[in-house]
Amino acid sequence: MTTSNPKTIAILGGTGKEGKGLAYRWALAGYTIIIGSRTTDKAISAAEEVIGLVGKKVHVKGVENTIAAREAEIVVLTVPYSFHREMLEFIRPEVQGKLVIDVTVPIVPPKVTKVQMPPEGSAAQQAQSILGENVKVVAAFQNISYENLLSGETVDCDVLVTGTDKEARTLVLDLVKDTGLFGLDAGPIENSVVVEGMTSILIGINKQFGVHASGIRITGISR
Ligand SMILES: NC(=O)c1ccc[n+]([C@@H]2O[C@H](COP(=O)([O-])OP(=O)(O)OC[C@H]3O[C@@H](n4cnc5c(N)ncnc54)[C@H](OP(=O)(O)O)[C@@H]3O)[C@@H](O)[C@H]2O)c1
């Protein structure tokens, strides 16, 4: 894994809800953000929107997905699960030797409150399998609603970080801290099944309580 420019983060599908929320938080923390999209104009508009949300001079630009992936050492994936495999195959050459943070939850409509994992075990394991051993895949933020990210308020939900490589998990824990959230090392990538599955449970809880952003908090630890 190369970390020559760890201050630049590409967010593929960053024109969407979750990606924009993360772009906002990291831009606020001083990172250079590259928003990726299938459409350059859409990426540029999203970048302008994030700059407006932050309300101060920040470095955010918008480009096509493969260009974004090429220009950053840290690449974040925030696309709907139905396009997960397609996107991974598309960007595979661009992310070799890099850190890929997968935020994807394998939500399969219409049963969005039911845990439905892919044959690989989880979306993160699917990403690792498609991208290959030369890419450090770390899964994070799957339980954090975009509304919480965009609110700019303290978020009452922890971030569980999983991935095969401990050094990569540690790097992502620093990135989590810089969003203003509390992250915990949740172990190897196989454990991502629990975190991704939790999102379906949270969607069900949201429905029961008529809210949009329920979350999880780990208790019994000092922060
Ligand atoms: N929303 C949340 O609160 C939340 C919370 C935790 C995790 N997540 C996970 O984060 C991911 C993104 O969620 P989201 O709510 O941000 O999704 P979204 O807003 O519906 O979509 C995100 C972006 O994905 C891109 N996209 C759509 N169709 C595509 C295709 N065929 N190929 C490639 N890219 C495509 C679009 O970008 P362009 O049109 O610009 O290419 C879109 O702006 C999902 O896996 C979700 O489970 C979401």
Atom 37 of ligand 1, nearest CA residue: 13
Does pTM surpass 0.85?
yes
**Do 42 and 68 meet the contact criterion of CB atoms below 8 Å apart?**
no
Burial class (CB in 10 A: 0-12, 13-18, 19+), 119: exposed
**Closest ligand 1 atom number to CA of residue 199:** 6
User: 63 CA to middle of ligand 1, Å?
Assistant: 16
Give the C-alpha distances (Å, rounded to integers) separating 76 from 11, 57, 88, 209: 5, 22, 11, 31
Give the C-alpha distances (Å, rounded to integers) separating 185 from 47, 87, 169, 170: 30, 26, 7, 8
Atom 32 of ligand 1, nearest CA residue: 83
State yes or no: pLDDT of 162 exceeds 80: yes
Q: Is the preceding omega at residue 110 within 30 degrees of 0, hence cis?
A: yes
Nearest-Å Rg of the Cα atoms of the chain is 16
Coil, strand, or helix at residue 138? strand
Burial class (CB in 10 A: 0-12, 13-18, 19+), 85: middle
User: 219 CA to middle of ligand 1, Å?
Assistant: 30
Pocket lining: 200 vs ligand 1, CB cutoff 6 Å: no
State yes or no: pLDDT of 5 exceeds 60: no
Tell me, what's the pLDDT at 3?
Answer: 41
Atom 26 of ligand 1, nearest CA residue: 79
- Quick one: average pLDDT of 4-9? 71
pLDDT in tens, 107-147: 999 999 999 999 999 999 999 999 999 999 999 999 999 99
Residues 127 and 135: their CA atoms lie apart, in Å, by 9
pLDDT in tens, 26-79: 999 999 999 999 999 999 999 999 999 999 899 999 999 999 999 999 999 999
Number of H helices, E strands in the chain: 8, 8
Pocket lining: 162 vs ligand 1, CB cutoff 6 Å: no
Strands 136-139, 159-163: pairing kind: antiparallel
Tell me, what's the pLDDT at 6?
Answer: 55
Pocket lining: 18 vs ligand 1, CB cutoff 6 Å: yes
Atom 6 of ligand 1, nearest CA residue: 142
Q: Which of 11, 12, 17 to mutate to test the pocket of ligand 1 (most atoms within 8 A of CB)?
A: 17
